[in-house]
Amino acid sequence: MRRVRSVPVSTGNSMAQWWKIANPLRSAWHVVLFSLLKYCPFLGLKNWLYRTTGMKVGKGVSIGLGAMFDIFFPQLISIGDRSVIGYNVTVLTHEFLVKEWRVGKVEIGKEVLLGANTVVLPGVRIGDGAVVGACSLVAGDVKPGSRVGGVPARPLSSS
């Protein structure tokens, strides 16, 4: 289940009208800041700077190199205490379609592991203690304590 709000557009495609849904100056600042933070090895500094954009970043969160967060609505992202966001993870809170755009909160619980190269789509909740395998597409909620992986992410066996 994804919790997204859909907004139709009357002409053209929704991406061509991005400047109507997000402040262009703020979005440009986020592009610069997030691009620099992708390669910043200092976790405390990274977390503090992400918080300045409105993201909710818990205590002891580790965000790996190359991770990228939504530039238009970072304030819709929350990451719980002691979670690990792996190398090159992408977390989106919006998506553009031809005749509409969608937006939704992404809630990542406490002590969650997002494996390298994972993509998290808008409107998803990942429960406390969940593990998401590398190269996964999280297109739906992940239950607390579960292990998921794949495209789309599905429960993995315990063996």
Per-domain boundaries in the chain: 5-155
Structure tokens at 122: 């808008």
Q: What is the pLDDT of residue 1?
A: 65
Q: How would you class 48 by CB atoms within 10 Å of its CB: exposed for 0-12, middle for 13-18, buried for 19 or more?
A: exposed
Q: What is the 3-state secondary structure (H, E, C) of the chain?
A: CCCCEEEECCCCCCHHHHHHCCCHHHHHHHHHHHHHHCCCCCHHHHHHHHHHCCCEECCCCEECCCCEECCCCHHHEEECCCCEECCCCEECCEEECCCEEEECCEEECCCCEECCCCEECCCCEECCCCEECCCCEECCCECCCCEEECCCCEECCCC
Distance from C-alpha of 38 to C-alpha of 89, rounded to nearest angstrom: 10
CATH of 5-155 given 3.30.420.10, 1.10.10.10, 3.40.190.10, 2.160.10.10: 2.160.10.10
pLDDT tens across the length of the chain (159 residues):
689 999 998 888 889 888 888 999 999 999 999 999 999 999 999 999 999 999 999 999 999 999 999 999 999 999 999 999 999 999 999 999 999 999 999 999 999 999 999 999 999 999 999 999 999 999 999 999 999 999 999 999 765
3-state secondary structure 10-53: CCCCCHHHHHHCCCHHHHHHHHHHHHHHCCCCCHHHHHHHHHHC
Encoded tokens for 124: 């998803």
* pLDDT at site 17: 85
User: pLDDT at position 159, please?
Assistant: 56
pLDDT in the model for residue 27: 95
Kindly state the tokens that stand for 78: 């929350």
Tell me whether residue 10 is exposed, middle or buried, using C-beta atoms within 10 angstroms of its C-beta: 0 to 12, 13 to 18, 19 or more.
Answer: exposed
